[in-house]
C-alpha cells in the first residue's frame, strides 16, 4: 500500500512539474513574442526618426525646417495634433515664421514655459480628461485624449515646446516609455538652434554692420540678373540711389565717430520712409540704393522726396544734412537688368548733386 501511495505522489509531482514547465515555457514564448514585437516597433520608429532627421537637416531655413517637422511628424507618426509653442523673447522670436498658421505655431511670452512648470524635465506625457488639464490647449483640441510635450533647449532657459497629440488615451499615457521622445527632443532642439546660427551667419556675411543695410556682397549675385529673376515676372520696380551731400567735409570737420552716427541716422530715417520688404543696400561709403518692388513711379517720387525732407531734419553736432537722390523706373513690361537700372538711378543722382544737392532727379524712362 505504501509503494502505491509513493508512486501516486511521485506521478502527481511529475504532472505538476511538467505543467509548471509548460506554463513557464508558454509565458517565456509570450514574453519573447512581446519583446520581438516591441523591437520591431522600435525598428520602425527609429527608421522613421532617421528619415525625419534627414529631412530636417536638409531644410534651407528655420521656416522650412518647421514646415518639414510639422508635416513629417503628422504623416509618419500618425498624430492628430502637432504644434509648436515658441518663446517670443528667445532667439526664435527673431525668425521669419509668418508662413506658419496659428494651428501650427503659437507664441508664448517670456518665462511662460517656466511658469506653468514645464522646465523641470524635457518630456511630459499627459492623459487628458474632460477638464483639458493643460492650459495651452484650445477648444479645437477637445478631441485629444493624450498629449506629449517636448521641452526644447536647455532647461535653464527653454526656447519652446513641441506638442504631440493623439485621440488614443494610451498613446502618451504617463506610464509609457519616453526614450524615443527624449531622442526626438534632442534632434528637434539642436537642429532648430543650428538652423538659427546658420541663418545669422548668412545674414552677417551680407549685412553692413554699421547701418544694418545689405552690403555689396549681397548685391553682387543679383547685379547681372533681369529684374524678373529677383522680384518676379511682370513686376514694376523703382530704384532709388542716394548719396549724402558733403560727406567728406563733414567727416573732416567732425571725425569718424560723428560720420558713423550720421550714416546710422540717415539709414534709420530712410528705413522709416520705405516698406519693410523694400531692399536697401550700402553701395559705397556714403552711397545707398533702395529697390521698391511693385511700386509705381509717382509713388517712388513721393517716397524719394520724403527721404530728402526727413534727412534734411537730421542735426549732427549742429551740422545740417542733405542727400542727393536719383530715381529710375522699370515698368512691368520692361525687364531691365538690375545693374542697368541701378546705373540709371546713379546717373540721375549725379544730376541732382550737380544741381546743388538735397533734391530728387528722375532718370528718363528710355534710360
Q: What percent of the chain has pLDDT over 70?
A: 84
Identify the helix (H) or strand (E) that includes residue 308: helix 297-312
pLDDT at residue 204 in the model: 72
- 175 — pLDDT class (breaks 50, 70, 90): confident
Q: What's the mean pLDDT when you consider all of the chain?
A: 85
- 13 — pLDDT class (breaks 50, 70, 90): low
Q: HSE-up of 362 (CA within 13 Å, CB side)?
A: 15
96 vs 172 pLDDT, higher one: 172
- 268 — pLDDT class (breaks 50, 70, 90): very high
Q: Which three cell numbers stand for residue 32?
A: 519573447
- 47-100, pLDDT tens digit by residue? 666 676 777 667 777 888 888 888 888 888 889 999 999 999 998 887 878 888
- 132-154, pLDDT tens digit by residue? 578 898 888 888 999 999 999 99
pLDDT at residue 237 in the model: 96
pLDDT at residue 288 in the model: 96
pLDDT at residue 165 in the model: 92
pLDDT at residue 139 in the model: 85
pLDDT at residue 197 in the model: 77
- 250 — pLDDT class (breaks 50, 70, 90): confident
Is residue 208 helix, strand or coil?
Answer: coil
Is 120 in contact with 155 (CB distance < 8 Å)?
Answer: yes
How are strands ordered across the β-sheet holding 279-282? 279-282, 287-293, 237-244, 323-330, 360-362
Least confident of 14-18, 163-167, 308-312: 14-18
- 7 — pLDDT class (breaks 50, 70, 90): low
pLDDT at residue 206 in the model: 82
Q: Is the pLDDT of residue 160 over 60?
A: yes
pLDDT at residue 309 in the model: 94
- 9 — pLDDT class (breaks 50, 70, 90): low
Is 208 in contact with 214 (CB distance < 8 Å)?
Answer: yes
235 vs 334: CA distance, rounded Å: 9
Mean pLDDT of the region 185-189: 87
- 94-130, pLDDT tens digit by residue? 787 888 888 899 999 999 999 999 999 999 999 987 6
Instruction: Return the exposure string of 188-227: e unless at least 16 CB atoms fall within 10 Å of the residue's CB, then b.
Output: bbebbbebbeebeeeeeeebbeebebbbeebbeebeeeeb
Q: Is the pLDDT of residue 38 over 90?
A: no
Is 128 in contact with 85 (CB distance < 8 Å)?
Answer: no
137 vs 110: CA distance, rounded Å: 18
48 vs 198 pLDDT, higher one: 198
> What residue ranges do the domains of the chain occupy?
1-58, 61-203, 216-362
Give, in order, the Cα–Cα distances in Å from 350 to each of 113, 251, 267, 281, 304.
Answer: 56, 20, 20, 18, 15
pLDDT at residue 350 in the model: 95
Q: What percent of the chain has pLDDT over 90?
A: 46
CATH 3.30.450.20 fits 216-362, yes or no: no
Q: Look at residues 277, 361, 365 and name the one whose alpha carbon lies nearest to residue 327.
A: 361
Q: Is the pLDDT of residue 1 over 60?
A: no
In this structure, CATH architecture of domain 61-203: 2-Layer Sandwich (3.30)
pTM of the model: 0.57
- 269-285, pLDDT tens digit by residue? 999 999 988 999 999 88
pLDDT at residue 21 in the model: 66
Mean pLDDT of the region 159-177: 90
Amino acid at each position: 500500500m505504501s509503494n502505491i501511495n509513493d508512486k501516486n505522489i511521485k506521478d502527481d509531482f511529475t504532472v505538476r512539474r511538467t505543467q509548471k514547465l509548460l506554463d513557464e515555457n508558454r509565458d517565456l514564448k509570450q514574453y519573447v513574442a512581446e519583446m520581438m514585437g516591441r523591437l520591431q516597433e522600435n525598428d520602425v520608429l527609429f527608421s522613421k526618426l532617421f528619415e525625419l532627421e534627414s529631412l530636417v537637416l536638409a531644410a534651407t531655413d528655420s521656416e522650412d525646417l518647421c514646415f518639414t517637422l510639422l508635416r513629417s511628424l503628422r504623416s509618419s507618426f500618425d498624430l492628430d495634433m502637432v504644434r509648436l509653442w515658441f518663446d517670443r523673447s528667445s532667439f526664435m522670436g527673431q525668425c521669419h515664421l509668418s508662413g506658419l498658421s496659428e494651428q501650427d505655431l503659437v507664441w508664448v511670452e517670456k518665462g511662460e514655459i517656466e511658469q506653468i512648470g514645464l522646465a523641470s524635465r524635457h518630456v511630459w506625457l499627459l492623459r487628458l480628461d474632460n477638464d483639458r488639464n493643460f492650459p495651452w490647449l484650445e477648444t479645437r483640441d477637445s478631441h485629444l485624449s493624450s498629449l506629449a510635450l517636448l521641452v526644447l533647449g536647455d532647461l535653464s532657459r527653454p526656447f519652446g515646446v513641441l506638442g504631440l497629440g493623439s485621440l488614443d488615451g494610451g498613446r502618451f499615457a504617463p506610464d509609457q516609455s519616453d526614450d524615443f521622445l527624449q531622442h526626438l527632443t534632442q534632434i528637434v532642439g539642436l537642429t532648430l538652434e543650428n538652423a538659427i546660427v546658420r541663418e545669422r551667419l548668412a545674414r552677417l556675411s551680407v549685412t553692413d554692420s554699421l547701418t544694418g543695410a545689405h552690403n555689396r556682397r549681397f548685391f553682387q549675385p543679383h547685379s547681372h540678373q533681369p529684374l524678373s529673376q529677383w522680384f518676379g515676372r511682370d513686376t514694376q520696380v523703382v530704384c532709388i540711389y542716394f548719396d549724402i551731400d558733403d560727406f567728406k567735409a563733414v567727416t573732416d570737420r567732425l571725425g569718424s565717430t560723428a560720420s558713423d552716427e550720421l550714416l546710422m541716422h540717415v539709414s534709420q530715417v530712410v528705413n522709416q520712409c520705405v516698406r519693410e520688404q523694400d531692399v536697401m543696400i550700402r553701395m559705397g561709403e556714403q552711397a545707398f540704393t533702395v529697390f521698391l518692388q511693385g511700386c509705381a513711379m509717382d509713388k517712388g517720387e513721393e517716397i524719394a522726396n520724403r527721404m530728402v525732407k526727413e534727412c534734411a531734419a537730421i542735426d549732427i553736432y549742429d551740422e545740417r544734412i542733405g542727400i542727393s537722390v536719383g530715381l529710375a523706373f522699370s515698368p512691368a513690361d520692361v525687364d531691365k537688368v538690375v545693374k542697368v537700372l541701378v546705373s540709371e538711378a546713379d546717373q540721375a543722382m549725379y544730376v541732382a548733386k550737380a544741381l546743388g544737392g538735397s533734391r530728387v532727379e528722375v532718370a528718363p524712362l528710355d534710360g
